[in-house]
Amino acid sequence: MARRCSFYEVLEHKLGGTSSERQPAGTRADARPSPGPTVYAFDLRFCGPVASAVPRSTPPRRVRVLTLRQQQAYDDLVKYGASLATDFTESELRSAFRVLARMYHPDRHPDCGPAEQDRLSRTFATLADAYRHLMTSSTDAVSMVA
């Protein structure tokens, strides 16, 4: 019966051994033979479970066709710091809005003056309106790409 050896052991054997072994005279210690047209055959009975070579199919991404108002809402979210791609999902939109809501909600900044509270409340209202427009349109203007 053949001895079971790992891929690395076979590789070290084919490449000339480990670096701790004595190198022949006239060669550099880190020199490796150039890869040739050698084909390595492995006995698959000793490999164990093999991962599937077929890549998993990724779900199709959504192509969003936004109206002018929806594009303005998207631009408002990005302007205030949301990191959204143009093919965002509902969960990505929700998490981006929650991050911005924590940053710009007036109740999160009780020590600010009245002018700053007014600015924060206007910003938060703009963000909430943009979120509402994009969330209601997320199922209306979506087509799937094959």
In a domain, 6, yes or no: no
According to DSSP, the residues that pair with 63 across neighbouring strands are 143
Choose between 119 and 14: higher pLDDT.
Answer: 119
Per-residue tokens: 137: 């349109």
The radius of gyration computed from the CA coordinates of the chain, to the nearest angstrom, equals 30
Domain of 109: which CATH number? 1.10.287
Is 33 among the domain residues?
Answer: no
CA pair distance 27, 12, nearest whole angstrom: 17
Element spanning 64, H or E: strand 62-64
Q: Say what the pLDDT of residue 36 is.
A: 55
Mean pLDDT of the region 96-120: 92
Domain hosting residue 115, numbered range? 62-139
Summarised one tens digit per residue, pLDDT across range 60-75 is 666 778 889 999 999 9
Query: b/e for 97-114, b at 16 or more Cβ within 10 A?
Result: beebeeebebeeeeeeee
